[in-house]
Amino acid sequence: MSVSKKFTHFCGIDIAKEKHVVCVIDRDGSQCIRPTSFANTADGYQLLIDRLKDTAKASSVLIGMEATGHYWYSLHDFLTRCKYTVVVLNPIQTARQVAQAIRKCKTDKYDAAHIAQLIRSGNYKPATIPGELAMTCRQLTRLRYSMVQQYTRIKQLLWSRIHPVWPEYEQLFTNPFGKTGRTLLHLAPTPQNILRFDNDELTELIHKSSHGRFGQLKAQQIRDAAQTSVGMQRGHEGIGTAINCMLNQMAALEPVYDSLETQITTLSEQLPQYLFTLPGATPLSVVSLYGEVDPIETFKQPSQLVAFAGLDATVFQTGQYDAPQRHISKRGSPFLRKTLWQMAYRALQQEGDLRDFWFKKKRQHKHQFVAVTAVARKLCHVVWRIMTDRRNYIPKGYNPKS
């Protein structure tokens, strides 16, 4: 049944942080509810429902909204609980709708009307809406991704404070931010602080913090590096305070991160076991994959999943010129793309189809990044087939009798 026959009214909602805008049109495109704003509150939601009920039955209304940040989640959940059919659109689709309009206006009211017209025409592709389990997977793995980025930024900021005053510090330890290195930086963040310790005090500090791994020899190495350091001599008090603050931030994040890792591993036990037969699969990658892709029925073909991951190639052609190089679009889910890349890298460490495919690309003199991206794209096809068929991955040429 076509969209125009199944629904009699089409509701477009432009999503924002504090206020949304709604516009409802009928099959002929006439406005039944002119663009009207309502608050992102319980009262605002009730006002929306009252207006929609006055217009048509819930089963006759198709609602469309943009996937704007995280602000659409609560309204989408509320409307689906009220038995409305809701489609979530990629903002790129509505931007194209605006670009095609004669009057290229960009306001919340016009956007709501454009969304209503777009879903009325049926020329849209709904975004993936995860279920309960998939949403939990998505929330946890995306949080982990953000925490890794935050931890990395803190380390980068920490190095930006250490290098100017003590550039030699990085060579003193295999892991500069291990327990011994951190203890040393907490108590003596600059070379001048190190030189205030006598030999016995420094040796005892190093010996105790390393659980006996280091002793007098390492203490002397640290003292020599401090004495001959070419670091700047200004602002040591402020730099020392900054170093300690960032070390405390790192220490505070680590137990939270470990707890999150444990929760993700536990969550992976609830997922279909055939996902763990995928090349390069780990509890983390499987949870992330499920959270970003489920329901797999959203993707009718593997090429759609490749595009959603942003691994599809872009094409630039104008006149007689056809660009010789192709780049991936990166217009899909960065989280899914990163997960597939990580799985591809791990798959290359194992004998199998993907590793053979990677060798083929290398024989074609492809750059390492290009070859791994090609493996990730091929893996995307495998993921689509395995999740669609709900079966274990069987490598090419596998013989269970052998």
Please report, rounded to a whole number, the percentage of residues in the chain having pLDDT higher than 70: 90
CA distance 31 to 12: 11
Q: Give tens-digit pLDDT for 73-118.
A: 899 999 999 999 999 987 765 555 555 554 455 565 788 999 999 9
Instruction: Say what the pLDDT of residue 331 is.
Output: 77
Alpha-carbon gap, residue 7 to 84, rounded angstroms: 11
Q: Tell me the pLDDT tens digit for each residue of 125-174.
A: 777 788 899 999 999 999 999 999 999 999 999 999 999 999 999 999 99
Query: Cα–Cα distance between 225 and 307 in angstroms, integer?
Result: 52
Average pLDDT of the residues of the chain: 88
Q: pTM to 2 decimals?
A: 0.80
**Cα separation of 378 and 91, whole Å?**
27
Q: Kindly tell me if the per-residue pLDDT of 54 is higher than 90.
A: yes
Task: Look at residue 265 and tell me whether its pLDDT is greater than 50.
Answer: yes
Q: Looking at residues 301-314, what average pLDDT do you find?
A: 88
Could you state, in order of their start, the residue ranges of all structural domains in the chain?
3-121, 136-265, 273-389
Q: How many angstroms separate the CA atoms of 9 and 33, rounded?
A: 10
Place of tokens 């989640």: 73
Nearest to 116 by CA among 30, 16, 58: 30
Q: Is the pLDDT of residue 294 over 70?
A: yes
How confident is the model at residue 323, as a pLDDT? 40
Torsion of CA 202, 207, 208, 212, to 10 degrees: 180
**Chain centroid to CA 274: how far?**
24
**Nearest Cα residue to 59 out of 14, 22, 8:** 8
Handedness of CA 209, 214, 220, 225 (dihedral sign): negative
Q: What is the pLDDT of residue 13?
A: 95
265-280 average pLDDT score: 96
Dihedral, 312, 378, 341, 281 alpha carbons, nearest 10: 140
Residue 316 has pLDDT above 90, yes or no: no
The percent of residues in the chain predicted with pLDDT above 90, rounded, is 73
How distant, in Å, are the alpha carbons of 124, 327, 348 from that of 373? 28, 10, 12
| pLDDT score for 94 | 58
Q: What is the pLDDT of residue 4?
A: 52
Helices 236-268 and 179-187 sit at what angle, rounded to 10 degrees? 150
Position 68 pLDDT exceeds 80? no
Which tokens belong to 360?
Answer: 């083929």
Query: What superfamily does domain 3-121 belong to in CATH?
Result: ATPase, nucleotide binding domain (3.30.420.40)
CATH code that applies to domain 136-265: 1.10.287.4070
Burial class (CB in 10 A: 0-12, 13-18, 19+), 98: middle
Largest CA distance in the chain: 88
Tell me what pLDDT residue 225 has: 94
Give the up-direction half-sphere exposure of residue 35: CA atoms within 13 A in the CB hemisphere: 17
Q: Express each pLDDT in 318-349 by its tens digit.
A: 444 334 455 777 777 899 999 999 999 999 99
Residues ≥6 apart with Cβ < 8 Å to 365: none
CA dist., res. 331 & res. 313, Å (int): 10
- Give the list of residues 6+ apart from residue 76 with CB closer than 8 angstroms, or none: 65, 86, 88, 129
**Higher-confidence position of 98 and 56:** 56
Mean pLDDT within 381-395: 94
- Give the helix/strand (H/E) hosting 318: strand 317-318
Does the structure show a pLDDT above 60 at 122?
A: yes
